[in-house]
Structure 1
Amino acid sequence: MDEFLDDRDDEQVDDLLMPEEDETSSNQLYEHFRFVADKGQSLLRVDKFLVDRMMGATRNRIQLAAEVGCIRVNDKPVKSNYRVKPLDVVSIVMDRPRRELEIIPEEIPLNIVYEDDDLLVVDKPAGLVVHPGHGNYTGTLVNALAWYLKDDPAYDPNDPALGLVHRIDKDTSGLLVVAKKPEAKAHLSLQFFHKTTRRAYRALVWGIVREDEGRIEGNIGRNPRDRMQMAVFPEGDQGKTAVTHYTVLERLGYVSLVECRLETGRTHQIRVHMRHIGHTLFNDERYGGNEILKGNTTTKYKQFVQNCFAICPRQALHAKTLGFVHPTTGKEMFFDSEIPADMAALVDRWRVYATTKEL
């Protein structure tokens, strides 16, 4: 089940182990976690000790926390190679108190494409954050669901056994399934874990993808040089296994429209995998896709691309299809979402360019 919950756990651990970007740090420290080694504890590096006890934590994140003095043993800062001894008190401290999130219902419009007693399917617009977390504690899809289901006595938005079964990024549009009952969430979660769901995305990427179809495999983990990015680690034990399949739908001048099918569900998976093979998503600011990566140097072409950026001011990625087995009826469910207007207009512009090549 940890594989399915990958995105959620990463965000929670990051929020605790990394400094806030928009808050002023203070000299006061607050304890977030405390672990006491038992009497029979064998000598063990503190980073390994903590990874074994914190869901979603990686050794890399623990090591980064140690570097900035957030890991303490018996109230003294230690490095990640410190060896924990019997009865050591290991704590994680931060310069801010631990924030307990309470989901507040907020009246935010939702596009519900299907609903029954067990679940609902939402078509999320680009720009809507899915779940409260670092920097976004209100105004999220979860807050909107709390409002939408406020009259359902069985739905508690603060109960982790209910609600979102998977996630997509803030500036990615498309389909998500939400569980209204614990049994439904458990059943759907297992389908994601066992990779039996069907998920296909549309993406516009920089460059002409030569192969008609392909498979990208490479562990994905937090970029050690930029905590806001994920990165591919082709070798070694860093990151978590990730597999993406792609098919080229159209080649349009200096970009390609592709369908991406997820075998796993890692943070930024399609964005990172496509960049890894040299085809960054169009206008993906976090990964450099908001620069002109392919094409010529004419003024007209540069203006054309800038106009395209303005038409679709986010990464050109849409969660188009979603398929799963209904947790109660056993019926196969399949949903398809139209590509939203901004991305459709973007693709149309490139079609015209590919046909005329007047720039």
Structure 2
Amino acid sequence: MKLLSNKSNLQILFEDNHIIIINKRAGDIVQGDKTGDKPLSDVVKEYVKDKYNKPGNVYLGVVHRLDRPTTGLVIFAKTSKALTRLNAMFVSKDVNKTYWALVHSMPPKQNDTLINWLKKNPKNNKSTAYPKEIKESKKAILHYTVLKQLDRYVLLEIELETGRHHQIRCQLSNIGCIIRGDLKYGADRSNKDASIHLHARHIEFIHPVTKENISISAPLPKDPLWDACL
């Protein structure tokens, strides 16, 4: 049974007057879409409204997203000032994001930089990686390092330079490193809870208002394979 976030079980990793950082569960959708399912942004609004007894509508800005089957760190802005500044920081790449992925195969190198041109197909909500620029494609850059080899899987640490649609899933699949449970990009079976073994593990940035250094790691989901990574 898939456990989704609600206002009483939110995994809050950081909160002040300006931002709140959540450890997202697999299955949580960050922002509302055509499914009509309740998004994590609404859950966080409910939490803030209840905690601070706020009347009327609660302001909450969505700064960035994670794919629905992915777990880990998501930042929300509690003020418009924080949202504007965080948006600018993401554009200028002043937010460092690190991901962990469990993949089926050892990559060609222990560490490498992958550069592709990704093109999204809206019909099947999937991206394809190309070696050169084609029409409507976007440049995608990531860096990976092999952290650990398990019996049947390999743990990779990934740092993104760009934030493209399904970037990590698509680029890793392109080099034969399919993420466990990711049917869309080549896995032979899904995970029971419809998750994939991709986790937004760490984030570091200068707070947009207080200017303090924020450095936060998200605990891994409770799962025997993730447990073996520690």
Could you tell me the TM-score, scaled by structure 1's length? 0.57
CA deviation digits over 1:18-40, x for unaligned, max 9? xxxxxxxxxxxxxxxxxxxxxxx
1:114 and 2:11 matched:
no
The answer for the alignment partner of 1:146 in structure 2 is: 45
CA deviation digits over 1:81-110, x for unaligned, max 9? xxxxxxxxxxxxxxxxxxxxxxxxx85631
1:124 and 2:24 matched:
yes
Q: How many residues align?
A: 221
Structure 1 residues 146 and 234: alpha-carbon distance in aligned structure 2, compared to 1, 3 A threshold? same
Question: Higher relative contact order by CA 8 Å / sep ≥ 6: 1 or 2?
Answer: 2
* 1:134, distance to aligned residue in structure 2 (A): 1.6
1:182 and 2:80 matched:
yes
* 1:166, distance to aligned residue in structure 2 (A): 0.5
* 1:335, distance to aligned residue in structure 2 (A): 0.5
The answer for the alignment partner of 2:207 in structure 1 is: 326
What amino acid maps onto 1:140 in structure 2?
A: P
1:328-343 aligned at under 5 Å gives the runs 328-342=209-223
Q: Is the 8 A contact 1:285 1:314 kept in 2?
A: no
1:210 and 2:108 matched:
yes
* 1:239, distance to aligned residue in structure 2 (A): 1.9
CA deviation digits over 1:40-84, x for unaligned, max 9? xxxxxxxxxxxxxxxxxxxxxxxxxxxxxxxxxxxxxxxxxxxxx
* 1:349, distance to aligned residue in structure 2 (A): 6.6
1:342-357 aligned at under 5 Å gives the runs 342=223, 345-347=224-226
Q: Is the 8 A contact 2:11 2:22 kept in 1?
A: yes
1:268 and 2:166 matched:
yes
1:240 and 2:138 matched:
yes
* 1:118, distance to aligned residue in structure 2 (A): 0.7
Task: State the distance in 1 between where 2:206 and 2:83 align.
Answer: 12
SS at match of 2:88: helix
Q: Is the 8 A contact 1:216 1:245 kept in 2?
A: yes
Gaps of 5+ in 2: 1-5
Q: Is the 8 A contact 2:118 2:140 kept in 1?
A: yes
Gaps of 5+ in 1: 1-105, 292-305, 352-359
Bigger strand share = 2
The answer for the alignment partner of 1:231 in structure 2 is: 128
Could you tell me the TM-score, scaled by structure 2's length? 0.86
1:221 and 2:221 matched:
no
SS at match of 1:341: coil
Structure 1 residues 193 and 153: alpha-carbon distance in aligned structure 2, compared to 1, 3 A threshold? farther
The answer for the alignment partner of 2:3 in structure 1 is: none
1:1-359 aligned at under 5 Å gives the runs 107=7, 109-135=9-35, 137-150=36-49, 151-152=53-54, 156-157=58-59, 162-223=60-121, 227-235=124-132, 236-291=134-189, 309-310=191-192, 313-342=194-223, 345-347=224-226
Task: State the distance in 2 between where 1:275 and 1:209 align.
Answer: 10
Bigger helix share = 1
CA deviation digits over 1:134-172, x for unaligned, max 9? 21x232201202211224459645xxxx41100101111
Task: State the distance in 2 between where 1:115 and 1:152 align.
Answer: 16
Aligned residues: CA RMSD: 2.4
Share of identical aligned residues, percent? 31
What amino acid maps onto 2:128 in structure 1?
A: A
Task: Please say which structure displays the higher CA radius of gyration.
Answer: 1
